[in-house]
Amino acid sequence: MTGAAVDAAPAPAPSRDVAVIAIVGVVHSTSHLFQFALPPMFPLLQAEFGASYAELALVLSTFYLASGIGQAFVGILVDRHGGRVVLAWGTTLLSMGVGGMAFVQELWMLYPLAFFAGAGNSVYHPADFAILSARVSPRLTGRAFGIHAFGGTLGYAVSPILLSLLGYSLGWRTALILALFYGLAQAAIVWRAKDLLGGGPISAAAAKEGPRDIARGFVKLLTMPALVAAFVYLTMTSIAGGAIQAFGAASLSALHAVDYQSATVAVTLFLTGQAAGILVGGVLADRTDRHGFVAAAGLVGCAAFVLGALYPAGDFWAPKLCFMLAGACVGVTAASRDLLVKKLSPPGATGRTFGLVYSGFDIGFLLGPLVAGMLLDRGRPDLALIGVAAVFALTLIAIRSVEGFGRANQAAKAVPAAR
């Protein structure tokens, strides 16, 4: 898995950097918008299909199961064929899967479509990070990763408001059909942006790999303790984040006896705070090499503010404020987290490295909403939020492991160089 990068811009101009970052950031926001297209309309789906929260959470879990499985392997396609083509096809599949849900007549029909959409969603992290790593100036990598995460969080933040508005005013089926056309437009933009996003493989060696080379490369990655620790890190944070985004509103509504729409505002504030924190964290990541410390501090703060949302105040202001601050804290960690992963990637294997590590992101979003939905069905919204805070806090162990193994890897590489 060595070889010079093929899909790379020779000397990116600032305007070119901005264009690449903008396209990738916007299409990443589309992925996240679609991931949580259904939760804002869960009450409508409950009324139409008579479904429980756990049954609806299983739709999300099916989506993330397909996305997680696919993401672990789609990095091979990214390294061999480049990120742009894979990203365009993935966006098309995701849009068709979500849009197809508008035509279901029974609850069970949502599950195969969720699996189909999840397969399309699996391309984003390996393709996006491969494109940004190859096509953006190194001095802007932290900010590029930060804006990439910002785009995703913006999609999450817009989703509760936009889909809820469209779903309740036009009907949930019409809302999903509109999402279909929007996603297909994004796929077309990516497909036509060959000059900016590249058209070739990530590395010459990856393009020539046979099945045995690919298998050996996967074994090498899977036996790297640092990557395993990074996988655990992504899994744990997405368990907590997925629970908040899918059922944070339902938990707060039950805990504080407020209507669902008001509780949805708190989740939107969490995501808005997260987006703002991501922008700050992107600049910070380019100005410090203490990425592990930044990640740890942010997650501790997030856990504390999620616990703070358990306690009521007049007019529901305290839980909303706590959710906004919790989102800001976790947002600051995003770019530092991604740079920690990038430093672990072997040459010519950017796509599959991010694919393997970020498959933990999907596994976490598979588990988080499912567990939170079960707790809500049993009348324990308090345990849902306490569990979220506990998972964020326990992630500190994984962060320390990533840092420790990463330093050991760098030291091992330095020895042959010194010789």
pLDDT per position as a tens digit, 97-128: 999 999 999 889 999 999 999 999 999 888 88
Contact 253, 260 (CB under 8 A): yes
Report pLDDT for 414: 58
Query: Does pLDDT of 213 surpass 70?
Result: no
Contact 306, 392 (CB under 8 A): yes
- Three-state DSSP class for 309? coil
Query: Does pLDDT of 178 surpass 70?
Result: yes
Cα 65 from Cα 61, distance rounded (Å) = 6
Cα 5 from Cα 349, distance rounded (Å) = 10
pLDDT per position as a tens digit, 341-396: 777 766 666 677 777 788 888 788 778 888 888 888 888 888 889 999 999 988 88
Sign of CA dihedral 208, 214, 216, 218: positive
Contact 353, 341 (CB under 8 A): yes
Query: Does pLDDT of 8 surpass 70?
Result: no
Share of residues in the chain with pLDDT > 70 (%): 86
| Pairwise pLDDT comparison (1 vs 126), residue with the higher score | 126
Report pLDDT for 142: 79
What is the pLDDT confidence band of residue 95, given thresholds at 50, 70 and 90?
very high
Query: Does pLDDT of 266 surpass 60?
Result: yes
Query: Does pLDDT of 275 surpass 80?
Result: yes
Cα 71 from Cα 300, distance rounded (Å) = 28
Report pLDDT for 11: 44
What is the pLDDT confidence band of residue 1, given thresholds at 50, 70 and 90?
very low
Report pLDDT for 390: 92
Report pLDDT for 10: 44
Report pLDDT for 2: 42
Mean pLDDT over each residue of the chain, to the nearest integer: 82
Nearest to 31 by CA among 135, 133, 119, 143: 119
Residue 12, CB-side half-sphere exposure with 13 Å CA sphere: 26
pLDDT per position as a tens digit, 230-252: 888 889 988 998 888 878 888 88
Cα 47 from Cα 251, distance rounded (Å) = 19
pLDDT per position as a tens digit, 189-212: 999 988 888 766 555 555 556 666
The kind and range of the H/E element at 289 are none
Report pLDDT for 302: 92
Cα 150 from Cα 352, distance rounded (Å) = 22
Report pLDDT for 368: 86
Please identify which residue in the block is written with the tokens 């942006």.
193
Report pLDDT for 4: 43
Report pLDDT for 150: 85
- Residue count of the chain: 419
Query: Does pLDDT of 224 surpass 80?
Result: no
Residue 132, CB-side half-sphere exposure with 13 Å CA sphere: 30
Beta bridge partners of 203: 5
pLDDT per position as a tens digit, 47-56: 888 888 778 8
